[in-house]
């Protein structure tokens, strides 16, 4: 390896562009050549100074905005997206739909709330046995309107365990009350009345 | 995302992708242009023009090409145009015939004792001299040296940008270092 070849490799080594074999050959040459050792150090020094001098270039403020203004002026970039404009079209379409859905939900809930608004009878229903509720809502009770209904509701409100004798009689004759025509066929005595199916079976 | 993915996204209409590429590479481009022109102010001017050209030429970018190689190719051409436009004819320094292959004349270097890195960096006169010395190199040497030593590109990438062989790059970078060392040793105290 002559001096010119060794210095080319020395230069390439600074750039990290050498093979292991080249490095070994270079080091062997430099060990025996004072001039090449000096040239190698000089090249390294120049390189270090060059890199240090150009490190971290300063950029004036406004450089980027000036460039992007030029790019926009030439229409080289897609349009800048503003916050409002960047809202996708499909999302804009969703706004009235969401409003309509909200309104419909409000109306539905409002109507159900109106239907669920507790009346005297409905409040009572929450705490009474099913049988008692049937008695309150039976045709007789509704048909009687006024006094019977109110009284029935009052009885229900008090609970099934505190029925007055009159109310107890109504409950006991529930079938009879729900079928007004029944008394014509009704049995004469109480036993027959309590076992209406026995007659048919007989 | 890689540079190539960002470039593809930009071509697909993504403005942010271009901005990401700018943020990632603008300092390199400014530094390269400043070194090539020897003037930081002109380096910024060149960098603006380089990014404009990148945006204009986006449609011609081949997805198989490495973005930085393509970017430096544009950067070099743009910078050379600016240098050419800004100076008088006759100041260009051509590469002497026969020197390209590395068989040129050997330079006699004055040796390293006067050229310690700290002294070069801290001495404004030497830093200015370095810029001047770089400007005195033939453009072929300067480009190869700035790309390889300054930007850290491989000889293969530099070869692609300059459209020469990797061996020619190796030779040019070596010659550039020799000449710079010689020029700087003349002013070292």
Q: Report DSSP state, residue B148.
A: I
| A180-186 long-range contacts, CB within 8 A, separation 24+ | none
Is B107 part of a structural domain of the chain? no
Task: List Cα–Cα distances, B113 to A41, B93, B109, in angstroms.
Answer: 9, 29, 11
With a CB-CB cutoff of 8 Å, which residues 33-62 of chain B face chain A?
Answer: 34-35, 40, 43-44, 47-48, 51-52, 55-56
Domain range enclosing B58: 3-86
Share of chain B above pLDDT 70, in %: 76
Predicted confidence band of residue A48 (pLDDT cuts 50, 70, 90): confident
Query: Does A46 contact B14 at a Cβ distance shorter than 8 Å?
Result: no
Mutate one of B112, B136, B176 to test the A interface: name it (highest A CB count within 10 A). Answer: B112
Over the stretch B139-179, which tens digit does the pLDDT of each residue have?
999 999 999 999 999 999 999 999 999 999 999 999 999 99
As for how many domains chain B has, the answer is: 2
* Whether residue A156 has pLDDT greater than 70: no
In this complex, is the C-beta atom of A20 within 8 Å of any C-beta atom belonging to chain B?
no
Could you tell me the residue ranges of all domains in chain A? 3-51, 120-193
Write down the pLDDT at residue A93: 66
Residues B122, B82 share a domain: no
* pLDDT reading at A125 higher than 50: no
pLDDT in the model for residue A198 = 43
Q: Answer yes or no: is B40 within a domain.
A: yes
pLDDT given for residue A10 in this prediction: 96
Q: How far is CA A175 from the centre of its chain?
A: 53
Q: How far apart are the first and last CA of chain B?
A: 49
The whole-angstrom separation of Cα B157 and Cα B93 is: 24
Pair (B124, B66) in one structural domain: no
Mean of all residue pLDDT scores within chain A: 69
Does residue B104 belong to any structural domain of this protein?
no
The answer to whether residue B97 is domain-embedded is no
pTM recorded for the entire structure: 0.62
CA distance A171 to A164: 11
10 Å Cβ neighbour count for B122?
Answer: 12
Q: Are residues B69 and B143 in the same domain?
A: no
For residue B185, give how far its alpha carbon lies from the nearest alpha carbon of chain A (Å).
9
Question: What pLDDT does A165 receive?
Answer: 76
Domain check: are B79 and B121 in the same one? Answer: no
In the predicted structure, residue A191 carries a pLDDT above the cut 80 = no
Give CA–CA dist B95/B171, Å, rounded.
Answer: 12
Looking at the complex, does the CB of residue B77 fall below 8 Å from at least one CB of chain A? no
Size of interface A-B (CB pairs under 8 A): 140
| Residue B100 covered by a domain | no
Tell me if chain B has a CB within 8 Å of the CB of A21.
no
Output the domain CATH number for residue B66.
1.10.1740.10
B11 and B82 share one domain: yes
pLDDT digit string, tens, across residues B37-74: 888 888 888 999 999 999 999 988 888 878 999 999 99
Q: Is the dihedral of CA A2, A8, A9, A10 positive or negative?
A: positive
With contacts defined as CB-CB under 8 Å, which chain A residues touch B184? 46, 49
Q: Does the residue B168 lie in any domain?
A: yes
Q: What is the DSSP letter of B89?
A: T
Mean pLDDT of chain B: 82
Evaluate whether residue B94 is within a structural domain.
Answer: no
Strands (E), chain A: none
Please state, as a whole number, how many other Cβ atoms lie within 10 Å of the Cβ of residue B34.
Answer: 25
Maximum average pLDDT range among A126-130, B12-16, B115-119: B12-16
Whether the CB of B4 is below 8 Å from some CB of chain A: the reply is: no
SS3 B100: coil
In a domain, B110, yes or no: no
């Amino acid at each position: 390896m002559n001096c010119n070849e060794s210095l080319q490799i020395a230069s390439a080594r600074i750039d990290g562009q050498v093979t292991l074999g080249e490095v070994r050959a270079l080091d062997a040459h430099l060990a025996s050549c004072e001039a090449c050792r000096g040239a190698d150090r000089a090249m390294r020094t120049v390189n270090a100074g060059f890199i240090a001098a150009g490190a971290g270039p300063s950029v004036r403020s406004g450089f980027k905005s000036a460039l992007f203004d030029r790019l926009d002026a030439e229409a080289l970039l897609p349009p800048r997206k503003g916050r409002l404009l960047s809202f996708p079209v499909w999302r804009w379409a969703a706004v009235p739909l969401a409003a309509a859905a909200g309104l419909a939900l409000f109306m539905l809930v409002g109507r159900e709330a109106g239907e669920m608004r507790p009346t005297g009878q409905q409040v009572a229903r929450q705490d009474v046995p099913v049988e008692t509720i049937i008695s309150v809502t039976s045709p007789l009770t509704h048909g009687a309107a006024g006094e019977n209904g109110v009284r029935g509701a009052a009885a229900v409100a008090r609970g099934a365990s505190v029925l007055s004798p009159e109310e107890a009689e109504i409950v006991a004759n529930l079938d009879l009350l729900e079928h007004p025509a029944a008394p014509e066929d009704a049995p004469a005595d109480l036993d027959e009345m309590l076992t209406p199916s026995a007659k048919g079976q007989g | 995302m890689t540079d190539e993915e960002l470039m593809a996204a930009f071509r697909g209409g993504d403005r942010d992708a271009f901005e990401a590429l700018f943020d990632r590479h603008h300092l390199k481009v400014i530094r390269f242009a400043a070194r090539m022109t020897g003037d930081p102010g002109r380096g910024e001017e060149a960098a603006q023009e380089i990014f404009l050209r990148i945006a204009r030429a986006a449609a011609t970018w081949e997805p198989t090409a490495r973005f930085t190689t393509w970017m430096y190719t544009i950067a070099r051409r743009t910078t050379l145009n600016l240098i050419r436009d800004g100076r008088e004819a006759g100041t260009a320094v051509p590469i002497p015939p026969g020197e390209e292959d590395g068989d040129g004349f050997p330079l006699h270097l004055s040796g390293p004792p006067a050229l310690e890195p700290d002294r070069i960096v801290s001495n404004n006169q030497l830093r200015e001299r370095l810029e001047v010395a770089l400007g005195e190199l033939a453009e072929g040497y300067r480009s190869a040296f700035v790309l390889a030593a300054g930007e850290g590109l491989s000889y293969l990438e530099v070869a692609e940008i300059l459209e020469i062989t990797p061996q020619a790059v190796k030779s040019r970078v070596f010659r550039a270092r020799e000449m710079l060392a010689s020029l700087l040793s003349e002013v070292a105290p």
